[in-house]
Amino acid sequence: MVGVVVLGSLSNAQPSNFTTSDYWKYQRKEILFGVGATNFLGDLGGLNKIGSDYSPKDLEWVVTRPSGHFGFRYRLKPWLCTKSLFQYGLMKGDDALTNEPARHYRNLTVRTHIIEFSQQFELILYNSESFGKRYSIKGLKGMRNKNTLVYLMSGFSVFGYIPQGPGDGGWTNLRPLHTEGQGLPGGPAAYKFVNYGIPFGVGCKIGLDRFWRISFELSYTKTFTDYLDDVSSVYYDKDAINAAYGSTASYFADPSSGEFSTWTAPGQMRGDSKQKDAYFFFNVSLIRNVTYKRQGGQKLKFQYRPKF
């Protein structure tokens, strides 16, 4: 009996499974974009007790805010990628959310815009990758497209940030107000608009078809600044701040009720300068594989080769 078996192959002889040593090269270049959520560990808000250093337990989940991102990933090895990523996030801290007496009385509320560029490396821990059948032909079974990865990531980030406080006319930029006496005798140096961080995280990428994937990533970035929320060290004399920088600066330096004035007297603790701030991103990304392209606006050609 003569049987005819119809086999499909890619016109550029792409491999069909991950056991082929060059398969990863067909997943080499990807662009990505998406949305997410962000939060941070700083001096504001927190648990109803003194903060737990570096602990997610001190996060105020109700102030989680949206974020957005886009980037480019390049596969260096079957087990290693590098990723360039731009991110924007809006972070918030509020002393009204804690019942810890000193923090609640401090009465500070801050939101911070952050724009970050990071260069990361991804170490692939698990992968399941293969090209599947191109067309759904009745009675013909074949592999489905697979592109599942689980990976760890770390690298280096540069970010700009703008802490703001709420006022009658909207939100006010706090860095120019020198709320801890920056630039005054005995006060700290002014903090910079740009700072650096080291991100750590974990991610999972799932293939949707030959070209599109979706990923989920959670990252933690330890920064080299304590001023994401404009709070770091001790209170400075409000009258001196008022004389040098004005009444708005004086108000944001100490918006407490004044009932316990000794708590906010010059030299009293306003923040914990021994611990730097940190922030989190949870990202959901849509990813496009741009390593190979469609031909003439159509899908890659599918060739038929009969065997007898």
Per-residue model confidence as pLDDT tens for the chain (308 residues): 434 333 333 334 444 334 345 777 888 999 999 999 999 988 886 655 555 555 566 667 788 999 999 999 999 998 999 999 999 999 999 998 888 888 899 999 999 999 999 999 999 999 887 655 555 555 545 556 667 899 999 999 999 999 999 987 799 999 999 999 999 999 999 999 999 999 999 999 998 888 899 999 999 999 999 999 999 999 999 999 999 999 999 999 999 988 998 999 999 999 988 889 999 999 999 999 998 765 444 444 434 444 44
Tokens at 216, concatenated: 């989920």
**CB-based burial, 255-288: b 16+ in 10 Å, e otherwise:** bbeeeeeebbeeeeebbbbeebbbbbbbbebebe
Would you list the DSSP string of 134-174? SS--TT---PPPEEEEEEEEEEEEEEEEEEEEEETTEEEES
Tokens at 50, concatenated: 């003194």
Tell me whether residue 12 is in a domain.
no
Tell me whether residue 65 is in a domain.
yes
Tell me whether residue 296 is in a domain.
yes
Q: Are strands 65-77 and 170-173 parallel, antiparallel or unpaired?
A: unpaired
Q: What is the pLDDT of residue 3?
A: 40
Tell me whether residue 1 is in a domain.
no
Q: Show Cβ contacts of residue 79 under 8 Å, excluding neighbours closer than 6 positions.
A: 123, 124, 127
Tell me whether residue 13 is in a domain.
no
Number of domains in the chain: 1
The DSSP code for 296 is: T
Query: What is the C-alpha to C-alpha distance for residues 200 and 220, in angstroms, rounded to an integer?
Result: 5
**CB-based burial, 154-177: b 16+ in 10 Å, e otherwise:** ebebebebebbbeeeeeebebbeb
Tokens at 148, concatenated: 């599942």
pTM of the model: 0.81
* CB-count burial class (<10 Å; 0-12, 13-18, 19+) for 70: middle
Largest CA distance in the chain: 101
Query: What is the C-alpha to C-alpha distance for residues 227 and 174, in angstroms, rounded to an integer?
Result: 10
Q: What is the CATH number of the domain that holds 211?
A: 2.40.160.20
- Phi/psi-derived region of residue 11, left when phi > 0, alpha when psi is between -120 and 50, beta in every other case: alpha
The domain in which residue 287 lies consists of: 32-307
Helix (H, G, I), strand (E, B) or coil at 15: coil
The residue count for the chain = 308
The DSSP code for 270 is: S
Q: What is the pLDDT of residue 171?
A: 94
Tell me whether residue 2 is in a domain.
no
Q: Contact, 18 vs 69, CB < 8 A?
A: no
Tell me whether residue 62 is in a domain.
yes
Tell me whether residue 74 is in a domain.
yes
